[in-house]
Amino acid sequence: MKPQYAGLVGDVGGTHARFALVDVEGRIRNPRTFESREYGSLTDIVAEYIQTTAGKRRPPRAVIAVAGPVLDGEIEFTNLDWHVTEGDLLAHFEFEAVKLINDFAAQALACPRLDAGDLRAIGPDLGRGAYDCPVVVLGAGTGFGVAGVARSERGDVAVATEGGHAAFAPTDEIEVELWRRLKARYGRVSIERLLSGQGLFDIYQGLADIEGRPAPLADPPAVMTEGLAGDPLAGAALDRFAGILGSVAGDLALSFGARGGVYVSGGIAPRMADRLAAGPFRARFEDKGRLSDYVRGVPTYLVLHPYPAIVGAARELEQMERL
């Protein structure tokens, strides 16, 4: 017998849109991935997924994690020319209830529930952190996302943020020079200007410019591939990226009081997992002056689960059903 579905869950970013169904026992089924820019709207993707996967057994509710700030049930995507509202989705698909949540808020909800096999410690394995303390998740991909979770005996509450658009803080002369070049090109330099796919490429080109070296690689995937294969300049860009990521993660641990743990996700970090573990990430994470002792006790993990925002959206769906 085909399962009855409790709801539809999704994770929609600037590059990919992922959808799945949640059965009545809370299990995630039938995950599929779509290329966001191949569709004119989110509605087109949802319609195709439901038609080809759910058929006549249409899910009654939906929770969709989206890349950007959700304000009053609406989102203007940061990296897509889409405007989506909960009301439009309700009317178009005749759901009983729809909720849009920030994609990193969904990931933050997922992190406390991920199994050990879905995580890799970056630096010392300090356990999963204090149970009653906040958790923060951050990650680079098309952009840079940040969210937290406030924890209590009554449950977890996701705290969505736009922390990726906070200002970038250089920590040495090389990063000052990178900042100057990005400032000349973009104006204000946010964290996302460096910690993203385009940011990795800009770091690569910036290091080449600073050192007076040629930069023959054409795009971020090439920098990743060649850096991991041993290209010196691309490798230096990866190490600089990892170091900046560690600094930002440590700053966020301080900002959130995240003694429950800091989790690194996104599309880029898992591809350079060994380099993160062996490189400057954890040293830069702990380099916080008078507060270094504070952050040394905070565990840092790389999220290996392929669909963490889907897991978080399913958790939010579960909470909707309890209301």
* Burial classification of residue 193, based on how many CB atoms lie within 10 Å of its CB (0-12 exposed, 13-18 middle, 19 or more buried): buried
Which helix (H) or strand (E) is 242 found in, with range?
helix 232-256
Helices 220-229 and 232-256: angle between axes, nearest 10 degrees: 110
Identity of the amino acid at 160: A
CB 203 within 8 A of CB 281: no
Q: Is 88 annotated as a binding-site member?
A: no
Q: Is 10 annotated as a binding-site member?
A: yes
Q: 3-state class of 18 per DSSP?
A: strand
Q: Which residues contact 115 (CB under 8 A, 6 or more apart)?
A: none
What's the token pair of residue 34?
């779509």
Query: How far, in Å, CA of 48 to CA of 260, rounded?
Result: 39
Query: How far, in Å, CA of 67 to CA of 275, rounded?
Result: 27
Q: Is 14 annotated as a binding-site member?
A: yes
Q: 3-state class of 120 per DSSP?
A: strand
Q: Is 12 annotated as a binding-site member?
A: yes
Residues annotated in a binding site: 10-15
Residues annotated in a binding site for ATP: 10-15
